[in-house]
Chain A
Amino acid sequence: MATIVGGIGVSHVPALGLAMAKNMQADPYWEPFFKGLAPARAWIDSVRPDAVVIFYNDHGLNFFLDKMPTFAVGAAPAYLNADEGWGLPVSAPFPGDPALSWRIINHLIANEFDLTTCQEMLVDHAFALPLKMLWPDGVTIPIVPVAINTVQHPLPSIHRCFNLGRTIGEAIAADPSDRRVLVIGSGGLSHQLDGERAGFINKAFDTAFLEELVTQPERLSRYSVLDVVEQAGTQGVELLMWVAMRAALGGPVRQVYQNYHIPISNTAACLLALEPSR
């Protein structure tokens, strides 16, 4: 049977992509974040994933307000990155795994998640940057993208995203293949780009949220989405991706590695690696 080998939570700040494009990872401003990648890559090598499921939020590359799905799952043989308008280099195509995609889709819909399914899906920096950071020579294992709306409120609740992740975890566990799946949650942590409160970062909230995410993630459902906006900023709601990632791992987990750093651009950046306790 397929297994989930672990989970990664990681920020996708566009500036990280620009820093990589300019090869500035060792500069004093960037080094505190990028130094965290080596241990994460070494751990990934040790758990030998051969497929990835990534929770991310589209920032206006594939989806616009004309049709805005709450949850969208990719079911394509490959996923293309494209110009987002502000200068990030376009990545090479990413391989898909339609069989795993449909297993996840079928299981989710059987469990009353009403999805948008995508046989073509442009993937933006929130998808591409974590993969480029974790596989700097290019990712060759196939990927299933799961997009969660963070653009237009109302957003799905933490409780709903937890159940989404948990149900995807069940779908993987029921897969008769011997796939070894790594789950990624892309986004966060606290940050706000817009409004008079731009630049808002909340280290105390992030720290408490991360601790509960590891130890008792179901308790996070007490926060409404607006609570998260208030406590983590308008873009801090990307924490929904982390909740879904954590829930996919199921029961108790061991924190393998954490690197939290303020600031990267306007964001409290974090890299977290979790392994299911066995």
Chain B
Amino acid sequence: MMTEPQTPRAISGTIVFDGAEAMKGYALNKMCYSFNDAANRAAFLADENGYCNRFNLSSGQIEAVKSRNALSMIRAGGNIYYLAKLIGMLGLNVQDIGAQQTGLSVDDFKAKLLQAGL
């Protein structure tokens, strides 16, 4: 029996990180993967442009990183598991970027999470 691959479908507010996204975001994600190493985190913080160029980020990806905007980084092919290393290094946590992505204040984002449990 043959099974066809799943047809991509729109899920609101969600990007499914598939092969196309993985190709688009490869350089950006590879840079973020390097941040497992403290020396690489220090090198990025010392020379952000130089570090991004070492990993051949596209100009759009460099702009997305500079913007510190998670949605822009995701649209540039970033995968949240790798981006988390960059975001964490920049002193942000998942609630900060949750607020950023949803256009809420951090307090309102936290309140929304609490609400989900009621």
Point out residues on A near B: beta carbons under 8 Å: 15, 59-61, 64-66, 82-87, 151-154, 192-203, 224-226, 229-230, 234-235, 261-263, 265-266, 268
Contacts and interface: CB of A to CB of B under 8 A. Distances in A.
25 contacts: A15-B94, A64-B29, A83-B38, A85-B35, A85-B85, A85-B86, A85-B89, A86-B85, A151-B79, A151-B81, A154-B5, A154-B6, A194-B74, A195-B101, A196-B12, A197-B12, A198-B102, A199-B102, A203-B116, A226-B16, A229-B11, A234-B80, A263-B116, A266-B98, A268-B116
Q: Give the size category of B's interface with A.
A: 35 or more
**Secondary structure class of chain A's binding surface, majority of residues:** loop
Given A64-B30, A85-B35, A265-B95, A225 B113 contact: no
Contacts of B37: 83
B14 A197 contact: yes
Contacts of B98: 193, 198-199, 266
Interface of B: 5-6, 8-9, 11-19, 22, 26, 29-30, 32-33, 35-38, 41, 70-71, 74, 79-89, 93-95, 97-98, 101-102, 109, 112-114, 116-117
Contact of B114 (A196, A229, A263): A263
A235 B80 CA distance: 10
A201 B115 CA distance: 10
Which of A82, A152, A201, A225 neighbours the largest number of chain B CB atoms within 10 Å of its CB? A152
Given A152-B17, A226-B6, A226-B9, A198 B101 contact: yes
**Secondary structure class of chain B's binding surface, majority of residues:** helix
B80 A224 contact: no
Contacts of B116: 199, 201-203, 262-263, 268
A15 B93 CA distance: 9
A243 B30 CA distance: 30
Contacts of B11: 197, 226, 229-230
Contacts of B102: 196-199
A235 B35 CA distance: 21
Given A195-B71, A263-B114, A65 B109 contact: no
B12 A59 contact: no
A85 B38 CA distance: 7
B26 A84 contact: no
A265 B18 CA distance: 26
A193 B36 CA distance: 19
A1 B116 CA distance: 45
Given A196-B71, A200-B13, 17 more contacts: A59-B81, A85-B86, A85-B89, A86-B85, A193-B94, A194-B15, A195-B13, A195-B74, A196-B102, A198-B102, A199-B102, A202-B116, A229-B14, A262-B114, A262-B116, A263-B116, A265-B93
Contacts of A226: 6, 8-9, 11, 16
B3 to A, nearest CB: 9
A153 B18 contact: yes
A85 B41 contact: yes
Contacts of B41: 85
